Chains A and B, each alone.
Chain A
């Protein structure tokens, strides 16, 4: 029996078909799931490679070793050997091409990250020799007296 009451349904079915076509065209073909199934890993698979291609900026202390062997040897003999070069000298990125010169941290605040005196029990911080910057030569750069590469050598 042909009845007009089905017309809205035909219209809806037509729109649905249009939507499905649009969806087929629009959704990237690599949309799928990883090992952990639809619940945990429903995604555009190509995105993983996009993240893997993200630029590395911090290259690690070994990256500096060959060209700056003198400085490397120097700091490796000191108690500051645990601090990687880039913590104070900034990320190497593609040094020496880009940037040609690294911007090193020379302000007091940088040293105070560890050497501001916080006598906290149950924290390693209390074991580090610290100062109160308001009392200890206020305003003077730390490196005027201390060599960050040879901290235990005493005053310059």
Chain B
């Protein structure tokens, strides 16, 4: 079978070679990239703009952003027909293509986040290495951790007041450079779609801006939900060994958690409004100017995809969480529901752009329907099916778990 034929159903007049070539993994790609960028922007709000209330979530979201980072190009890798040739993008970049700079932007961004993390955790690396060095009867794990931490210090063992002050300054600079690069990384994912002139739904200069806004929204939402989950976990542990750990009581964690969530929700709402405004502007503008493609787009937006766009994306994914988060006296439970719905809304927005953009034929006289492969029966239906997508969604949590062992997010004395 031809690539794409498995999940595409054609209706009326389409060109013979037309299939839904960009499927679930291309939905995942901007979604994951958005989460990376959003998580980073959230952490920068504290590091650069000094918004003190976000201090607690800042360190967390930075590490989480780094855990998400390798998972952003993963969907692309699963989508490529020749995944082993992926490095060609870096080897011979053809810069007239929007994808060509991906490797460079991505690596630059990764380097910035890594550097910021290094400055943030250098003291910790040095202290851990020193503590383990003097310890007798090291287990294999401890020996490994010692060498790893020693390596991670990059030989900079100076943790005097002056050196730490320099670290702090460097963090600020790195976070400052990081914001435009994070926005670029994601706005640029929007450009990849927005610049395809052959696709009537994608082609709009607003696409990069819409993508950045929804990226920040989804990034904040995911950080909030993950933060809540880890805090609840800690609360649970604290309850169990309340005696063993007197410094950390349940009530403490709870008040910190609620405070952080309430503050973060305010920023989430702000970006959500901006994102919805831009999306509606795009829709209204298309309807008002009604160029050649509008006849077809109207049939897709108000007909075939009505449920996906207006019920799930705008209704359930935008309006409901907007109200939930806006009502005063935000509770953790409501925040969980709200942020989950926001994530659903952003995911559906990516879906409606990527899949919706291929729901109509280039002939403007036919349609294509996408059927997500659920049970994988070969490599292709795994890679571009439900399980491939689930693999992408879960991988950052595994990475976060590992990273947390090296760079603990909680229970550290703030160095600044």
Judge whether A42 is part of the interface by a CB distance below 8 angstroms. yes
Q: Check A4–B118 contact: CB distance below 8 A.
A: no
B92–A31 CB distance below 8 A: yes
Measured CA separation A23–B114 after assembly (Å): 23
Give the distance in Å from the alpha carbon of A26 to the alpha carbon of B92 in the complex. Answer: 10
Would you call B115 and A4 a contact (CB within 8 A)? no
**A27 in contact with B91 given A4-B158, A7-B154 (CB within 8 Å):** yes
A4 to B126, CA, bound (A): 13
Contact status B154-A8, CB under 8 Å:
yes
Closest residue on chain B to residue A10 by CB atoms: B154
The number of chain A residues with a CB under 8 A from chain B is 16
Indicate if the CB atoms of B155 and A7 lie closer than 8 Å.
Answer: yes
Contacts of A83 in B (CB 8 A): none
Closest residue of B by beta carbon distance from A42: B94
A23 touches B158 (CB 8 A): no
The verdict on A82 contacting chain B, using a C-beta distance below 8 Å, is: no
Interface residues of A in 1-34 (CB under 8 A from B): 3-5, 7-9, 11-12, 19, 23, 26-27, 31
Kindly state whether residue A39 has any CB partner on chain B within 8 Å: yes
A5 lies within 8 A of B155 (CB): no
Contacts A4-B163, A8-B118; is A26 near B156 (CB within 8 Å)? Answer: no
Q: Mark B79-105, 1 if CB is under 8 A from A, else 0.
A: 000000001001110101000000000
B384 within 8 A of A: no
Q: Chain B residues near A27: list those with CB within 8 A.
A: 91-92
Judged by a CB distance under 8 angstroms, whether B6 is at the interface is no
A residues within 8 A CB of B169? 5
Does B111 lie within 8 Å of A23, measured CB to CB?
no
Q: Are B111 and A12 in contact (CB under 8 A)?
A: yes
> Which of the residues A4, A8, A26, A31 comes within 8 Å of B114, measured between beta carbons?
A8
B91 and A26 form a contact (CB under 8 A): yes
In the complex, which residue of chain B has the Cβ closest to the Cβ of A31? B92
Q: Is the CB of B166 within 8 A of A8?
A: no
CA distance A31 to B166 in the complex (A): 45
**In the complex, residue of chain A having the shortest beta-carbon distance to the beta carbon of B157:** A4
Interface presence of B258 (CB below 8 A):
no
Chain A residues with CB under 8 Å of B340's CB are none
Q: Is B167 an interface residue (CB 8 A)?
A: yes
Closest to A27 in B: B91
Q: A11-B154, A39-B96 are in contact. Are A3 and B166 (CB under 8 A)?
A: yes
Chain B hits for A26, CB < 8 A = 87, 91
Cβ of B248 to closest chain A Cβ, rounded Å: 33
Given contacts A23-B90, A26-B91, A27-B91, contact A4 B96 (CB under 8 A): no
Q: A8-B111, A8-B154 are known; give 13 further A-B pairs, CB within 8 A.
A: A4-B154, A5-B119, A5-B166, A7-B154, A7-B155, A7-B156, A8-B118, A11-B154, A12-B111, A23-B91, A26-B87, A42-B92, A42-B94
Interface residues of A (CB under 8 A from B): 3-5, 7-9, 11-12, 19, 23, 26-27, 31, 38-39, 42
A-B contact list, 25 entries, CB within 8 Å: A3-B166, A4-B158, A4-B166, A5-B119, A5-B166, A5-B169, A5-B170, A8-B111, A8-B114, A8-B115, A8-B119, A8-B154, A9-B115, A11-B154, A12-B111, A12-B115, A19-B90, A26-B87, A27-B91, A27-B92, A31-B92, A38-B94, A38-B96, A39-B96, A42-B92
